[in-house]
Chains A and B, each alone.
Chain A
Amino acid sequence: SAVISQKPSRDICQRGTSLTIQCQVDSQVTMMFWYRQQPGQSLTLIATANQGSEATYESGFVIDKFPISRPNLTFSTLTVSNMSPEDSSIYLCSVEDRVEISNYGYTFGSGTRLTVV
């Protein structure tokens, strides 16, 4: 199955600043997905990142707040911009894994635990 390296694993940031989260996959993948998990909540899809095109954002998420880059088929970044305490969450990247999970599932990165103070 795909292996995803996500960093940083955690960070504490000042409000008003920005943080860029990186995900590196050990194989080429068409789509990468970015999720947010607010404290005590389930996962919410932020956007889908395709190589060579603009990311597709879900309702409630905008590019100015969560710009995404996808420069190649193994790498993506998510930036959380102009942070406020409400952005304190775990952010996870994922890829569709067609090797181990019966062709239909997802593998996740290890997550970035962000605290905004």
Chain B
Amino acid sequence: AQKITQTQPGMFVQEKEAVTLDCTYDTSDPSYGLFWYKQPSSGEMIFLIYQGSYDQQNATEGRYSLNFQKARKSANLVISASQLGDSAMYFCAMRDLQTGNQFYFGTGTSLTVIP
């Protein structure tokens, strides 16, 4: 069964606008972590933001924020004030903290920022 679902294969956003990248997840474990990574065309995977399942507040890191809706099992990434350098693939990932080191990745969303 799909653990992480990213339903948007590609997204476009105007420079300086905000954009939301969707991510839903599936787990029965009460303890898990949710991550977003950015992969530019160079291929490296860059960690952006983390949300723990017990965190009461939504995570924020600079222009990145995570809209965590636990009951709906969604962890959407919000990028504010988009920049041209934000054009990249974005992957949502989850780790079930009670089942060891397995990391589950979504299929990714390709974001293009339009000048």
A contacts, CB < 8 Å to B: 9, 31, 33, 37, 41-43, 45, 48, 90, 92, 94, 96, 100-102, 104-113
Chain B CB count within 10 A is highest, among A31, A42, A90, A100, for A42
What separation, in Å, do the CA atoms of A2 and B29 have in the docked complex?
Answer: 28
Which A residues lie within 8 Å of B42 (CB)? 110-111
Chain B CB count within 10 A is highest, among A37, A41, A43, A96, for A43
Which B residues lie within 8 Å of A109 (CB)? 44
Which B residues lie within 8 Å of A105 (CB)? 33, 35, 47, 50, 95
- How many inter-chain residue pairs (CB < 8 Å) link A and B? 59
A102 and B33 in contact (CB under 8 A), knowing A42-B107, A43-B105, A48-B101?
Answer: yes
Which B residues lie within 8 Å of A48 (CB)? 101
Which B residues lie within 8 Å of A100 (CB)? 47
Which B residues lie within 8 Å of A90 (CB)? 43
* Inter-chain contact A110/B44, CB cutoff 8 Å: yes
Interface string of B100-112 (1 = CB under 8 A from A): 0111011110000
What separation, in Å, do the CA atoms of A90 and B45 have in the docked complex?
Answer: 11
What separation, in Å, do the CA atoms of A33 and B42 have in the docked complex?
Answer: 20
Which A residues lie within 8 Å of B45 (CB)? 43, 92, 94, 108, 111
